[in-house]
Amino acid sequence: MPRVKASRSTFALAVVALLFISFFLLSEPSYDLNFDEDLIGEREHGSSPLDTVRTGQKAINQWLSATDLSLPRGLQFTSDGLVRGWDAVHELLKKGGLKKKDKNRFQRVMEKHPILELMEQGKKRWDDLLARQSKTLPQAVTEYTRRYGRAPPKGFEEWWQFCKRNQYDQINRDIEPYFALSPELFRKRVDALTETAHTAHSQITLSPEGESSLYGERAISARPKLLFSLLRPIAQLLPADITFSMSDHDLGSWILGDDQKQAALSAVKEGRYLSEADLKPFEKKEGRQPVKGLVSACPEGTPGWNRGVAKRDGLPLDQPSPGESLSFAAELM
């Protein structure tokens, strides 16, 4: 009986192998019907030269490909913002068993730089984005409220007229942690900066009713002057006077740790404010974070954080291998 079972298993395995070979290698090639047409920009993604593989290969490639259907088959965007997979796709196509004539025709297509197709797809994405944008102020208010769970700030209608766009995601990422501070605590901390080294060098006051001004011991420097000239035209749109205390150094005096940022974002999500007592542990500069410098702003476990730990402990620093790059999460930028 064991011999019969082994024979049946072997037979079943052989059948599966034959089916696979007939599907993957013996299927009819499926060619791009527009091979001879140099009409970049006039063909849809479905006729991409990267789809010009045997039917079996195409099915497997599609099964293994990334879920982003806007990319050519076999390619994928990685977290560092690059497109990966060209070498593997080209190598696969080179082994497709094409006849000489077909190889020559295919070679002409391969010689076109892949950026052309990516540019087409980028333009389509941008056009789609523009088509989805709010066209009126009520639409913009509704979209803003839907995205961020709060009403737009005072003066939003002037801002809407100023830019006529509703893609606020980057702006929101930049300012969202500050919503963890109550207006009173925020104002108190801004006022305290006028007495703090590195930030008491110059101040800008913007006034919607009176005269805006730039003052302080470093007010004659180029950087404060340039910032003032950039901000002064929008003073008339502000709901009230506002004062900026700033430094014209090219380096910040504080690096926001990822733990503090996440605590602020959690408070915003839960609809509460952080108190001075909540903030105090995060503002201990020495000994709070196990790593120092710029990498202290990285989330724990990321390549930057791990390199900081290795440097602290005197361990060898691993260098990225050829073709590898460090990853950055878009939401942290």
Local structure of 62: helix, strand or coil: helix
34 and 121 co-located in one domain: yes
Whether 195 is in a domain gets the answer no
Phi-psi region of 272 (alpha: psi -120 to 50; beta: other; left: phi over 0): beta
33 and 87 co-located in one domain: yes
The C-alpha atoms of residue 53 and residue 41 are separated, in whole angstroms, by 21
63 and 109 co-located in one domain: yes
Question: What is this structure's pTM?
Answer: 0.50
Whether 315 is in a domain gets the answer yes
Domain that includes residue 305, residue range: 258-332
106 and 140 co-located in one domain: no
Whether 186 is in a domain gets the answer no
144 and 121 co-located in one domain: no
Q: What is the pLDDT along the chain (333 residues), one digit of tens a residue?
A: 455 455 666 767 676 666 655 554 444 444 332 333 333 333 333 444 444 444 444 444 443 444 444 444 556 666 555 666 666 666 656 666 556 665 665 566 566 666 777 788 888 888 887 788 788 889 889 988 998 888 998 888 888 877 665 566 778 888 999 999 999 999 898 888 777 766 657 889 999 999 999 998 888 889 899 999 999 998 988 888 988 888 777 766 677 888 899 999 999 999 999 999 999 888 876 667 778 778 888 888 888 888 888 888 888 877 666 555 544 444 443
**Confidence at residue 86, expressed as pLDDT on a 0 to 100 scale:** 64
154 and 262 co-located in one domain: no
What 3 state SS string does 222-270 have? HHHHHHHHHHHHHHHHCCCCEEEEECCCCCCCCCCCHHHHHHHHHHHHH
Which residue, 162, 160, 174, 138, is CA-closest to 332?
Answer: 174
For residue 324, the one-letter residue type is E
114-138 b/e with 16+ CB inside 10 Å = b?
A: beebbebeeeeeeeeeeeeebeeee
Whether 234 is in a domain gets the answer no
Which residue, 217, 268, 210, is CA-closest to 242?
Answer: 210
20 and 115 co-located in one domain: yes
10 and 94 co-located in one domain: yes
- Beta strand residue intervals within 41-187, DSSP E: 76-77, 83-84
- Domain count for the chain: 3
Whether 309 is in a domain gets the answer yes
Domain finish residue from 127, 158, 175: 127
Q: What is the DSSP letter of 29?
A: B
114 and 32 co-located in one domain: yes
**Confidence at residue 331, expressed as pLDDT on a 0 to 100 scale:** 42
Local structure of 76: helix, strand or coil: strand
